[in-house]
Amino acid sequence: MGSDTMSSGNPIIRIEGLSKTFQGVSGDISALEDISLEIREGEIFGIIGMSGAGKSTLVRCMNFLEKPTKGKVWFNGRDLSQLTKKELYQIRRSIGMIFQQFNLLMQRTVAGNVCFPLEIAGVDKKAAAKRAEELLTLVGISDRADSYPSQLSGGQRQRVAIARALATNPRVLLCDEATSALDPSTTRGVLTLLRDINRRLGITIVVITHQMKVIEEICSRVAILDSSHIAEVGSVEDIFTRPKTSAARRLVFPEDPSMGKLSGTRCCRIVFNGNSALEPVIAEMVLEFRQVVNILFADMKNIDGKAFGHIVIQLPDSGMVADRMMEYVRSKGLTAEEVEGYV
């Protein structure tokens, strides 16, 4: 599930006890509370949460665009709070950023946008132009070098933004809701590009999003933010198959308010893990026990060429039969767990 890139295992970003408070009109507002996290070199790491969970604040703390109220942030072993302004600027050159609204300079051409961070860094024009040409080829829009952002589609603009973020050879790329303004087809193209960049260049990528499909598509590990705290951290596959917190469950499978009518019954969530997703396990279980089940929710998806999915069924009223059905499913090598919130 997600990226298959093998990271070195060494943390390139380490966050310890981080809190961030903003001053509001009616008092302090806590955006982040006691965040501790490690992002390993070479991985694609996802941070997901609903609007207002603190995702964008966290990503801005990673490069000290926002200074934490408490706690520490290390980049490649260096404590960012101990650096001079000049040293912090050098670190930020190693951390590229792309945003939901692209943040391109509208008066500059595509090539001019990619050259801009190189000009700030003092790279001569000829070398900058060559680097821009290489990067525009990498992101697949070398034919639009002389165009202006207003002449591009949303997907093309984001590709320019990615090229610009790569201009200074960063070790980490921070993507803050980078696909939220794009349609599904364009989103897939941008995610495929990011995965390719990770594999070819070895750049660590941090994906900030509120969309579980984005996490499932390219990430290897994920942290779930909920109300300014980290609710859960783990591999994408583990959290998809065995979410431990209510915040994770809300993201993995949505609730349907119409299911409230089925009060008093038990429900089972069955996870298909890629090897058995196409086997008729539910049909075989119905035949085995001669008891019908009610399907409340089902979702299937193709992730890295494998079929993954989960299904929530309403179990029979007989507790003994319901227990045996769950054991039957587990005997097939699948995850089966009783779930609340559906009935």
Collapsed DSSP state (helix, strand, coil) of residue 14: strand
Please report where in the chains the tokens 């308010």 appear, as a residue. 257
Task: Judge whether 19 and 30 are in contact, CB under 8 Å.
Answer: yes
Q: Is the dihedral of CA 217, 219, 222, 225 positive or negative?
A: negative
Neighbouring C-beta atoms of residue 192, cutoff 10 Å? 12
Please name the CATH architecture into which domain 256-338 falls: 2-Layer Sandwich (3.30)
- Bridge partner residues of 30 (DSSP): 21
Domains 11-249 and 256-338 share a fold: no
- Which positions ≥6 away from 329 have C-beta within 8 Å? 268, 270, 281, 285, 336
Whole-angstrom distance, CA of residue 183 vs CA of residue 205: 21
Tell me which of 3.40.50.2020, 3.40.50.300, 3.40.50.920, 3.10.105.10 is the CATH number of domain 11-249.
3.40.50.300
Whole-angstrom distance, CA of residue 152 vs CA of residue 149: 5
| pLDDT tens readout for residues 60-119 | 999 999 999 999 999 999 999 999 999 998 899 899 999 888 889 999 999 999 999 999
For residue 175, give the nearest of 251, 95, 72 by alpha carbon. Answer: 95
Global pTM reads 0.78
| pLDDT tens readout for residues 204-263 | 999 999 888 888 889 999 999 998 899 999 998 888 777 888 888 777 765 544 444 444
> Residue ranges per domain, the chain?
11-249, 256-338
